[in-house]
Copies of this chain bind each other. A is one copy, B any other.
Amino acid sequence: MQDFTRLILPDVRELLAQGDHEEVARELERLHPADIADLLSHLDPEEGAALFMALSPKDRAEVFEHLDENVQVSLVERVDRGPMVEVIEALSSDDRADLVQALPEETKEKILPLMPQADRNEVRRLLSYPEDSAGALMSTEFAAIPPDLTVREALDFLRRVGPSRETIYYIYVLDEDNRLVGVLSLKDLVLAHPDDKVQDIMEKDVIAVRVDDDQEDVARAVEKYDFLAIPVVDGLGRMVGIVTQDDVMDVLKEEATEDAQKMAAVEPLETSYIRSGFFELVRKRGTWLVLLFFGELLTSETLAAYESTWSSLAVLVALIPLINSSGGNTGGQSSVLVIRSLALGEITTRDWWRVVLREMGQGLVLGLILGLVGVGRVLLWGDAGNVPELQLALAVGLSLLTVVTLGALLGSTIPMIFKRLGMDPAVMSNPSLSCTMDILGMLTYFNVVKLVMGL
């Protein structure tokens, strides 16, 4: 929340309590709709509804589209149906479909019949596209013209339809079958001669995405080509919608958050952390924690299996966390580097060998460094008592070298294997990798110790 919205919050609250709606409207007059939305989100649901009704119908629509989905739903449930349907009708088609999907069943049944048949059909169609596809992300309010208009006619047309379109900065040229045959920017139109024909100045090699493309691919295309919006076509090349840059920003943020959560072994949340239900959070965290717990039971078993090795030399036990954390930390570094590079499209699974060789090298060098630090630590141990220092140092150094190299290899290859199999590379979270490395670390450590020290 911004400081100036925070400052006027108490005033607004008091005016609402007094029922002085005119004064509320005056107070908000010069605020941007996004700031009014911000303010509204910080009010109680009933206050929020009162504030919303104090706005002019035009402002209501503009404020509404800046609200989070759960605040939108709360308003729909509290505000009179008449004005609310007007607001919903003013939303862009993608926002409208998202809202309808988020409404509880009974509210939906009250609102839907009040919407025009055409809009209801469109909502149904948009909701039929798979989640995370271009179709689910797109808006259907784009500006389209036939190829045989002149620039003057095209501008006249835009003046008529402009206010109802999501963007008129790109104008799409469709043939009589609605197939996408060209694109123009509003800049092109404004800069062109009024008598030029659209088909002579349009760009004919139009870059589009398919309606069933994944939203990450759509985001990557918009970014790559620096588009303000990208057209969406169906299997027959007919244009069905556009995805705009601000939708893409939302996708990028959402995907980054989901990846971060997955990498830390949290099943991705549906909504923001602070709005997630307490027990939803417990479930999304607990499931993974319990799975990881069972994984670590295997580390326990491994430790137990080597009891005869470590029980004879107490210092071996004290070194366990060093070995385990080094393998896990290195693996975690490798996996985050590879997962982000895959997500940004910097590498693909075809770069497999380059990545594996590089990580093998990284693992060996980092393992050598940590191994030497480990050797130094053992040799400096003044209180080693009856411990065969040189042998122990050698065993620790070799174990660290091996475990760190293994960590780098596993951390980098597992995400690439997952990606290759069509799975999400971030699913192999850093905690699961740590757990795997704990087991491998213990196996390595005790076998090296047995070999080198003859225990």
A-side residues, CB < 8 A to B, are 1, 30, 32, 34, 38, 66, 155, 158-159, 162-163, 168-169, 186-187, 190-191, 205, 207, 223-226, 228, 245-246, 248-249, 252-253, 256-257, 259-261, 263-266, 269, 272-275, 278, 281-282, 285-286, 288-290, 292-294, 296-297, 299-301, 303-304, 307, 310-311, 314-315, 317-322, 324-326, 328-330, 332-333, 335-341, 344, 346-348, 351, 354-355, 358, 361-362, 365-366, 369-370, 373-374, 377, 404, 430-431, 434-435, 438, 442
Selected contact of A187 from candidates B66, B186, B278, CB within 8 Å = B186
Instruction: Tell me the complex Cα distance, A325–B373, Å.
Output: 24
- Report which of B38, B265, B354, B366 forms a contact with A332, defined as CB distance below 8 A: B265
Task: Give A294 Cβ to nearest chain B Cβ, in Å.
Answer: 8
Cβ–Cβ contact B303 & A318, under 8 A: yes
Question: Which residue in B249, B288, B351 is a CB contact (below 8 Å) of A248?
Answer: B249
Residues of B within 8 A of A430 (CB): 264, 332, 430
Alpha-carbon gap, A280 to B71, bound state (A): 47
Q: How long is the Cα–Cα vector from A310 to B318 in the complex, in angstroms?
A: 11
Alpha-carbon separation in the docked complex, A93 to B278 (Å): 49
Q: How far is the CA of A180 from the CA of B116 in the complex (A)?
A: 43
Closest to A165 in B: B187
When chains A and B are docked, how far (Å) is the Cα of A8 from the Cα of B218? 23
Q: In the complex, what's the smallest C-beta–C-beta distance from A42 to chain B, in angstroms?
A: 11
Given A34-B224, A370-B289; A296-B322 close (CB under 8 Å): yes
Contact between A30 and B205, CB atoms less than 8 A apart: yes
Alpha-carbon gap, A335 to B224, bound state (A): 32
B225 and A34 contact, CB distance less than 8 A: yes
* A310-B289 Cα distance, complex, nearest whole Å: 26
Q: Can you add 8 more A-B contacts, CB < 8 Å, to A266-B333, A288-B333, A296-B321?
A: A32-B225, A273-B346, A282-B365, A285-B333, A286-B366, A293-B322, A296-B326, A332-B430
